[in-house]
């Protein structure tokens, strides 16, 4: 197990992303390759869960595209990730807000965290 940690510390480049947790609304900018061309696309939504630690950390984002819910899971050390912006800090009581999938309308609003 120590060998795995050593390799992660030495060879895998760490990117500097802001801290975020479940309930936050974030925008993720990532690169998409289409043939020889690359373009940047963004995905803006609410963080449903953050799993794992260190370089194995993944986070799930959910957004509504019309009437259809779209979820995407991003590994934090994905090479295509360019930047993450935290748009809103959400106030939720759980680490994984899976109940959020079933909510619609006004119930699907997350209160914004007050910053003092």
Residue 102 domain-assigned (yes or no)? no
Summarised one tens digit per residue, pLDDT across range 26-56 is 999 999 999 999 999 999 999 999 998 877 8
Residue 71 domain-assigned (yes or no)? yes
User: With b meaning 16 or more CB within 10 Å and e meaning fewer, what string describes 21-36?
Assistant: ebbbbbebebeeeeee
Residue 80 domain-assigned (yes or no)? yes
Summarised one tens digit per residue, pLDDT across range 59-78 is 999 998 888 989 999 998 88
The CATH number of residue 38's host domain is 2.30.30.790
- Give phi and psi for 19, each to the nearest 5: -75, 135
Say if CB 69 and CB 52 are below 8 A apart: no
pTM score, whole prediction: 0.82
Summarised one tens digit per residue, pLDDT across range 90-116 is 898 988 998 888 888 888 888 888 776
Placement of tokens 């794992």 in the chain: 52
Quickly state the pLDDT bin for 1 (edges 50, 70, 90). Answer: low
Residue 28 domain-assigned (yes or no)? yes
Residue 5 domain-assigned (yes or no)? no
Handedness of CA 63, 28, 48, 88 (dihedral sign): negative
Residue 74 domain-assigned (yes or no)? yes
Residue 7 domain-assigned (yes or no)? no
Q: How far, in Å, CA of 47 to CA of 25, rounded?
A: 6
Residue 107 domain-assigned (yes or no)? no
Q: Which domain holds residue 77?
A: 20-89
What is the number of domains present in the chain? 1
């Amino acid at each position: 197990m120590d060998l795995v940690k050593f390799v992660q510390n030495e060879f895998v480049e760490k990117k500097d992303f802001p801290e975020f947790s479940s309930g936050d609304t974030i925008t993720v900018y990532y690169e998409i390759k289409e043939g020889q061309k690359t373009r940047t696309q963004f995905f803006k939504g609410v963080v449903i869960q953050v799993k794992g630690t260190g370089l194995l950390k993944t986070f799930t984002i959910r957004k509504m595209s019309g009437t259809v819910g779209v979820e995407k899971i991003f590994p934090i050390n994905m090479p295509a990730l360019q930047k993450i912006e935290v748009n809103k800090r959400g106030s939720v009581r759980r680490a994984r807000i899976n109940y959020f999938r079933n909510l619609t309308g006004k119930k699907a609003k997350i209160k914004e965290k007050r910053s003092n």
